[in-house]
Amino acid sequence: MRVLPPILALLLVALIANSAFVVREGQSALLLQFGRIEGVGSSGGADYKPGLHFKLPLVQQVVRYDRRILNLEAAPERYFTAEKKAVTVDFYVKWKIDNPVTYYQSFGSDEFQTLANQRLAPIIKDALRFEFTSRSLNDLIASARSDITERVLEQANKQTVDTFGIRVVDVRIKRIEFPDEVLDSVYKRMSAERNRLANEQRSNGREAAAKIEADADRQVLVIKAEAERDAQQLRGEGDAKAAEIYAAAYARDAEFYAFYRSLQAYREAFKSGGVIVLDPKSEFLRYFGESKLEGKP
């Protein structure tokens, strides 16, 4: 009888522990009772979000799913283009569980996404095969990759969202291996395309340089014109000031002013050391005559 209470306590603790379950961040959960979805998940689209939840012990079971974006790495696949040229395509797929209820109805308690990847891979490969067979090799070399992945993504979601509860987030082509007989033409085409882009960039650069140079020349002309205008204005102001000073000097002593101006003229005329022939009685030589002392005859 003494052993019975501890056993009952242990059973009670086990029942309480079994009645609670935790859904971690990045997970969702469904509550099953005899294989049938119960609780919030029975509404057809809802599931248990992260947090602490409760269930009937021993009767109900919890199935957890990863709600993060998952990765599907498929083996490289061989496809044929519109000209029947074989290419090997290496790609990967990003997907997530969009509806856990539909996902459980399709794959059961596939917590490691093994069955889902097995069903998803052929869908993506078939969509890629259709896109590659409808395009030429030149389109694939040029710029058809982004268009292919967009169409594959659209076609895949039409088959997986409502049927499996899976939403394909992204499809990316990592590498396209071309056959040996077209590698030379591929390289030549790529080289020609790069040369065209390089020439286009050079042409744009030369055009931009010409615009910059023309603008610089225009600014130089404007600056020079403005500087010449300011210089002419300053010269005019200086000449006016000089004329004003000369006029004031002349008004004060006209005879001395005339003598001073004559000395300046002599200095400029004889500065070079040349010979000048003039009439002794000319006005230019008026101050070269004999000086007359004031007060003497």
Is residue 205 in some structural domain? Answer: no
Q: Are residues 77 and 151 in the same domain?
A: yes
Is residue 84 in some structural domain? Answer: yes
Is residue 53 in some structural domain? Answer: yes
Per the CB < 8 A criterion, the answer to whether 132 and 140 are in contact is: yes
Is residue 217 in some structural domain? Answer: no
Q: Are residues 148 and 59 in the same domain?
A: no
Among 66, 81, 104, where does a domain finish?
66
pLDDT band at 143 (very low <50, low <70, confident <90, very high): low
29 phi and psi angles, rounded to 5 deg: -140, 150
More reliable by pLDDT, 133 or 136 = 133
Is residue 14 in some structural domain? Answer: yes
pLDDT band at 293 (very low <50, low <70, confident <90, very high): very low
Residue 133, domain CATH: 3.30.479.30
Is residue 120 in some structural domain? Answer: yes
Which range of residues forms the domain containing residue 151? 70-178
Is residue 193 in some structural domain? Answer: no
pLDDT band at 292 (very low <50, low <70, confident <90, very high): very low
Is residue 9 in some structural domain? Answer: yes
Long-range CB contact pairs, 5-8, < 8 A, 24+: none
> Is 185 a residue whose pLDDT tops 90?
no
Q: Are residues 38 and 136 in the same domain?
A: no
What count of other Cβ atoms lies within 10 Å of the Cβ of residue 22? 13
Q: Are residues 57 and 76 in the same domain?
A: no
> Is 123 a residue whose pLDDT tops 90?
yes
- Predicted confidence (pLDDT) per residue in 100-122, tens digit: 888 888 888 887 888 999 999 99
% of the chain with per-residue pLDDT over 70: 78
Q: Are residues 77 and 172 in the same domain?
A: yes
Question: Number of folded domains in the chain?
Answer: 3
pLDDT band at 173 (very low <50, low <70, confident <90, very high): confident
pLDDT band at 51 (very low <50, low <70, confident <90, very high): confident
> Is 222 a residue whose pLDDT tops 90?
yes
